[in-house]
Amino acid sequence: MSEVAWQKGWWRKDLLSIKELSREEIQMILDTADSFKEISTRDIKKVPTLRGKTVITLFYEPSTRTRTSFEIAAKRLSADTINISVSTSSVVKGETLLDTALNLQAMEPDIIVLRHSAAGAPDMLARALKASVINAGDGFREHPTQALLDMMTVREKKGSLEGLLLAIVGDIAHSRVARSNIYGFKKMGARVRVVGPGTLIPRGIESLGVEVFHDLREGIRGADVVMALRIQRERLEGAFFPSEREYARFFGLSLDVLREMAPNALIMHPGPMNRGVEITPDVADGPGSVILEQVTNGVAVRMAVLYLLAGGTRGEDLH
Amino acid sequence: MRICIRGGRVVDPSQGLDGPAEIWIKGGQIEAICRAGAPVGGCQRDAQIIEAKDFLIVPGLVDMHVHLRDPGYEYKETILTGAEAAVAGGVTSVACMPNTDPPMDHGAVVEYVLRKAKEAALAKVYPIGAISRGLKGEALSEIGELKASGVVAISDDGRPVTNALVMRRAMEYAKGFGLPVISHCEEPTLSARGSMNEGEVSLELGLRGIPSVAEEAMVARDILLAEWTGCHVHIAHVSTAGSVRLIRDAKRRGVKVTAEVTPHHLVLTHDAVRSWDTDTKVNPPLRSREDVEALQEALRDGTIDVIATDHAPHARVDKEVEYELAAFGISGLETLVGLTLMLVERGVLDLSQWVTKVSLNPARILGIKGGTLTPGSPADLTIIDTNTSWKVDPANFRSKGKNTPFKGWILKGRVVYTLVDGRVVYKAGI
Amino acid sequence: MPPDTGKRVLLDASGVRRALRRMASQIAERHPGEGDLALVGIRTNGIYIAQRLAKEIEAIEGLRLETGIIDVTLYRDDISRGRPHPLVKRTEIPFPVDDRKIILVDDVLFTGRTTRAALDALMDFGRPALVELAVLVDRGHRELPIRADYVGLEVSTSRDESVIVRMEEAEGADEVLLVGPGWKGES
């Protein structure tokens, strides 16, 4: 076996954001994920690579999907997984994140997958711990593995992201998925538009190199990929837009509106969907929809990230 | 016994003084200042001599915006540790904010603070009374009694007075008692739940933003109310270019408005938050480069009268948490001199302007003694070695609050002596 | 003493060709007319060698054997030692391995650890009836009880030397070199 593979490689201890990654690093994760995808098609969906490693999923926000995806990924690599769910209410009055971190460190985990409602929490944890930290979503800031699986899905279908036009539709302001995808797709050479009502588009977002549209038809015109974001009705209705009905009428993806897209355009959604609000059922289940592929690729991407980080530089190896 | 401070450069804008001079102190007061070459010359034999060769001698610094946390939050700071921090930072007088527990909304708490300050016998402590009972922004506190107990101003600092009518009444009432109203300007419905400046950095970090307009909306309101009532309003911790414009216009119209800025708003931008260091979390938040430049310009042209620290000490448990959950505030007393002399070094201010902003103006605004070395005034002075650099290490702070975003910074300008009423209350370890 | 920077050609292009032809005829001899025999190459050179062997066997037997690719990275016993993990490439075994006769193919047999990893990987795909091993070069120094069934060239080496196999598909020409530890490659 060639030793050349050792020369290049992944040196990071943590995966905290897409913003911090180079194009080459993103490419490396996506290539690795492509290779890992095959494992999930085998009868025996397991390789021994991370045998003896401990992966803790630490979730301060409920998310069955992401947690399960990480857990399956870790198990397919033969790692031991432990799931900890913390209710946010106990965080505020209970021990500090740093206390929690040091307690976990004492149990010598290798990788901690953190979901937290506070932006930057994974960075704090990563700084305090020897273990690798994977950001599984922090507040409104980033959700790097989601963007990676989105990029993997589009790359699979389109061959490359270079020169593609992505339109992200909906609640950009409160979306970590939007931020990570803006950074990721831009780095990979795509053009990115954000589409939504003025209240849901953060002021100054043009500084991230995206174009802003408040008209859905205009915003998705010619797009190769349209990504609808989940609308959190409880939080937004009345304050950020008048009603769900009005939102659906002006910003919901329907078959009629989608005629504006490029031929063979892809429809994506990070889930869970509100059918009939940000996306109509016939679009969600229609021909361009790759929503289920996104879920499948999520496992492969997370296997790739776990694999690469487990070989990343540990604190004590730093010179 | 007399004290003679000799060999230093004395800068006292209250008497247009900048040059080598000997300072004579007797009975806790300035007895005389002898300019170099003047005939008096030579310290008498019975005087205690303080050698200040190559040092800068200025009227004791007056920090008109300090949180001493006592009573109620003694784990963050006490009047003793706060006073120790003050004199170590060259500050001889502090005005302390009423957001204690219980708050300083009645005479008994004011008297408690004054008694503790007297026991500490370090910096002079001037309490600021609450505008509203319980700092709730509803009913007025007993402002007359507060004044009688010794407060020098009123403020609900830490919380804005959101009800415009309450603010109007406070100004009308305080004016009659000759008290300035210090306003923490923040429209809470606009800043709601934000933890940093709203701008490209908050966008990148996914943190809820506090827009500059949240501050400016209330600065505008309070300027108009000051104009309407004729009351002196002092705008605390100005942080935006828009506020600067509003204050500049108001001053031009002759409105009785004064304003302060903190050292951190003068030297840091919101880029510092990228470190996720919760010690960069402060209210008002660190703003953009353009805001910082506007604040520096406002200091230079006199729109902003005062540099005050907004010293807000916190315990580790308040800060070692997620950024959004962390407490707002910076422990500022012990970095005041180093940070603001940096502005002098960079040419933002000259030394005389600097003394005006950190000593003379705040003393005048609060109507307290100090800010000057004219004979007969209290011998409050600060002696600074402007040539020595030091590294900010919060572990060495006298303050209980180790929360500073300047940890590790190399600052030039070190306090060597602090004198209050002619007593050396701080002397740097040499 | 400076490290040996020398290089020795063990097989040139025609040597490689002859070795592969010999191996193919040995395989055909041992498995006459067995169309269900399959060749699985270990990344990267093993893939090319497996395809060449399949072609040679086709020439002898008139049977096209199925081939597959195995990437043993995930089964290695030497990862996670403070250096980045090697990049993983696809494993492609496009046929069921249950009850099949499989010949694993690699370029160099050295410690035997790669073969061990490949066996583990293969077993995760099913239960073959028989597994054999074919290598172009056997250079000795085994650390595990593994031996090859078909060997192109047996050569005795010292531990610090390296055997370099170049295949036409990847590098334009077939060649097997034995180089000293100080060898810096060709400019």
pLDDT in tens, chain A (319 residues): 333 333 467 889 999 999 999 999 999 999 999 999 999 888 889 999 899 999 999 999 888 899 999 999 999 999 999 998 887 555 555 577 888 888 888 989 999 999 999 999 999 999 989 999 999 999 999 999 999 999 999 999 999 999 999 999 999 999 999 999 999 999 999 999 999 999 999 999 999 999 999 999 999 999 999 999 999 887 787 789 999 999 999 999 999 999 999 989 999 999 889 898 999 999 999 989 999 999 999 999 999 999 999 876 443 333 3
Interchain contact B/A (3 or more Cβ pairs less than 8 Å):
yes
Dist CA B114 CA B109 (whole Å): 9
Element (H, E) at C59: helix C45-61
Q: For B216-228, give one letter per residue: b (16+ CB within 10 A) or e.
A: bbbbbbbbebbbe
How large is the ipTM?
A: 0.88
Question: Do the domain assignments include residue C174?
Answer: no
> Is there a contact between C162 and C155 (Cβ–Cβ < 8 Å)?
no
Residue C144: which domain range?
13-159
A88, A122, B256, C187 from B159: Cα distances, Å:
26, 31, 22, 73
**Is residue C147 in a domain?**
yes
Q: C–B contact (≥3 CB pairs within 8 Å)?
A: no
Given a contact cutoff of 8 angstroms between Cβ atoms, the answer to whether B99 and B135 are in contact is yes
Question: Do the Cβ atoms of B126 and B366 come closer than 8 Å?
Answer: yes
Beta bridge partners of A227: A168, A268
Closest Cβ opposite residue A38 in set C83, C87, C91: C91
Quick check: A26 and A184 in contact, CB under 8 A? yes
Question: Residues A201-217: pLDDT tens digits?
Answer: 999 999 999 999 999 99
Among all chains, which residue has been given the structure tokens 């066997």? Answer: C57
Domain count for chain C: 1
Shortest distance between the Cα of A116 and any Cα of chain B, in A, equals 9
**Within chain C, which residues score under 70 in pLDDT?**
1-2, 79-83, 186-187
C94: in domain: yes
Q: What is the CATH number of the domain that holds C108?
A: 3.40.50.2020
Are the CB atoms for A108 and A102 separated by under 8 Å?
no
Asked if residue C114 belongs to a domain, the reply is: yes
With beta carbons less than 8 A apart as the criterion, state whether A56 and A82 touch: yes
**Contact across the interface for A118 and B206, Cβ inside 8 Å:** no
The answer to whether A177 and A145 are in contact (CB under 8 A) is: no
**Taking the CB of residue B215, how many other CB atoms lie within 10 A of it?**
29
Is B310 marked active-site? Answer: yes
Q: Which CATH architecture has domain B3-57+377-427?
A: Roll (2.30)
Round to whole Å and give the CA distance between C25 and B210. Answer: 79
Return the domain boundaries, chain B.
3-57+377-427, 62-366
3-state helix, strand, coil in chain B (%, to 5): 35, 25, 40
Q: Beta strand pairing status for B410-420 and B56-59?
A: unpaired
Interface of A with B (CB under 8 A): 19, 91-92, 96-98, 116-121, 123-124, 138-142, 176, 179, 202-205, 207-208
Kindly list the distances between the CA atom of residue A202 and the CA atoms of A270, B119, B203, in Å, as whole numbers in the listed order.
20, 53, 7
Whole-number CA gyration radius for chain A:
20
Written out in words, the top-level CATH class of the domain with range B62-366 is alpha beta
C176 found inside a domain = no
Q: What is the pTM of this model?
A: 0.88
Residues 6+ apart with CB under 8 A from B49: B3, B4, B5, B6, B43
Q: Are B227 and B253 contacting, i.e. CB atoms less than 8 angstroms apart?
A: yes
C85/A313 touch (CB, cutoff 8 Å), yes or no: no
Cβ atoms within 10 Å of B395's Cβ, excluding its own = 6
The residue assigned the tokens 């602090």 is B418
Compare CB distances from B323 to A120, A205, A207 and report the shortest one's residue: A120
Most distant pair of Cα atoms in chain B: their distance: 67
* Positive or negative: CA dihedral A87, A89, A90, A92: positive
CB pairs under 8 A between A and C: 76
C179 domain-assigned? no
First to last CA, chain C: 24
Distance CA B281, CA B273 (A): 7
B96 is written with which tokens? 């302390």
Task: Choose among B200, B208, B276: nearest Cβ to A207.
Answer: B200
